[in-house]
Amino acid sequence: MIPVLVKLRQRNRDGLGRTWRSETFRRWGSLIGGAWLGTGLVGAAGFRFSERTEHSLSLWEGEQPVLVYNYGRISSSQAPADRARSSYVHPLYGLDGEVLTDDFPKDHYHHRGVFWAWPHVEIGGQEYDLWLLQGIRHQFERWLQRDTSSAAAILAVENSWRVEERKVMTEQAWFRVLPATAEGRAIDVELSWTPTHWPVTLRGAEGKSYGGLTFRFAPHAGNPVITVPDGATRADLTMARLPWADLSTQIRGATNPSGAAIFVAPTHPDFPPEWLTRHYGVLCVGWPGVTARTLTPGQTVRVVYRIWVHRQVAALSQLQRQYEAFTQSLSNAPPLSVANGQHGGH
């Protein structure tokens, strides 16, 4: 496929009072869900960003809220002060405006919408806990891209992991949000990590594997349905190797059931990764899982996912079809960061 280059000169604000102009928006023409991506003009009817607070950026499609990315430090008067955090998505909205995610839930104050963190992070012989926010934290560094059109919205940020004020990891998070259809909405997620000066060892929770991309669902009524490639499962799963999983439920206060799936790219390290699922409302992609993985300075590890938000309880055939559409889209286009001129985590 031939890359389509669209020059964008949209003026934005970065939440710190500074203005910036977006870089060239490089899109590869690709078939995603049967529609061409890479057409449309900035400002056409479609997506837009708005500053929600000095710490959070909202994305809208028309008059419908899509998601909020929290780049600044977020705390809650209902949770311990040491659970303050940044660099995660909440709220993530369903197609009818229901809030699908939870933040500072009383059973797990550290859960935070759609986030990525590890319970075991070892640096220089010392262990830290990014999952529980003990001794290490995310910190926003800069916007890499904030672009919108009628065809897609792209949001990209560079974060760091910090132990006190010492930077130990460069992180990039890329999101490509596609327009909603009657059936659902696709949100492509690419995360990459590059240690700075010291090796960083990551490991998931013993006997459970959580540690990595995590989706904490909002409070719900009724019985959630978790579906994996073998079908609906009544049991909670630990250390299960899966290419995808879905949780559908009736969100408290919503009129109808809805849900979200996480699809894992076949290029993912150690594919398929280990998972933890909980019917109380969490999907956890566990990578590297219970077996530790050490990243060396200058080495970039990249993972690619799709979050598929949908109405109703998703059928197995529907999920299989959507996963096939996702994998097909990957064969037609390079990773988001590569297509947009960012190579690695520097």
Q: H or E segment at 254? A: none
- pLDDT computed for residue 305 by the predictor: 98
Domains of the chain: 3-339 (2.70.98)
How buried is residue 5: exposed, middle or buried, by Cβ count under 10 Å (0-12/13-18/19+)? exposed
62-84 average pLDDT score: 94
Question: What would the pLDDT profile of 155-172 be if each residue is shown by its tens digit?
Answer: 999 999 999 999 999 999
Question: Mean pLDDT throughout 240-250?
Answer: 98
Which tens digits make up the pLDDT trace of 216-231?
A: 999 999 899 999 999 9
pLDDT at 25: 36
pLDDT for 334 equals 77
Q: How far is CA 145 from the centre of its chain?
A: 16
Mean pLDDT of 294-301: 96
pLDDT > 70: what percent of the chain? Answer: 86
- Please give the Cα distance from 103 to 211 (Å, whole number): 17
Identify the three-state secondary structure at position 102: coil
Sheet strand arrangement including 282-286: 47-51, 56-61, 64-70, 88-92, 114-117, 212-216, 282-286, 274-278, 238-241
Query: For residue 31, what pLDDT band results from cuts at 50, 70 and 90?
Result: very low
Structure tokens at 206: 């013993």
At residue 331, φ and ψ (nearest 5 deg) are -75, -15
- Assign 333 a pLDDT band (cuts: 50, 70, 90): confident
Determine the pLDDT at residue 343: 57
- Look at residue 60 and tell me whether its pLDDT is greater than 80: yes
Residue 136 DSSP class: -
pLDDT digits 0-9 by tens, 100-132: 999 999 999 999 999 999 999 999 999 999 999
Q: How far is CA 36 from the centre of its chain?
A: 23
- pLDDT-based confidence at 45, cuts 50/70/90? low
User: Three-state SS for 281?
Assistant: coil
Structure tokens at 53: 């607070």
Are the C-beta atoms of residues 308 and 260 closer than 8 Å to each other? yes
What amino acid is encoded at 114 in this protein? V
Per DSSP, 23 falls in state: P
Say what the pLDDT of residue 205 is. 97
Instruction: With H, G, I as helix, E, B as strand and everything else as coil, classify residue 80.
Output: coil
Confidence of residue 338 (pLDDT cuts 50, 70, 90): confident
> Is the pLDDT confidence value at 174 over 50?
yes
Instruction: Report the pLDDT value the prediction gives residue 16, as an integer from 0 to 100.
Output: 32
Work out the average pLDDT over 264-286: 97
| 38 confidence band (pLDDT: 50, 70, 90) | very low
One-letter amino acid for residue 317 of the chain: S
- Whose tokens are 């950026």? That residue is 57
Taking Cα atoms as reference points, which of 316, 234, 230 lies closest to residue 272? 230
- What are the pLDDT digits (tens) for 8-30? 333 333 333 333 333 333 333 33
Tokens of 195: 């240690």
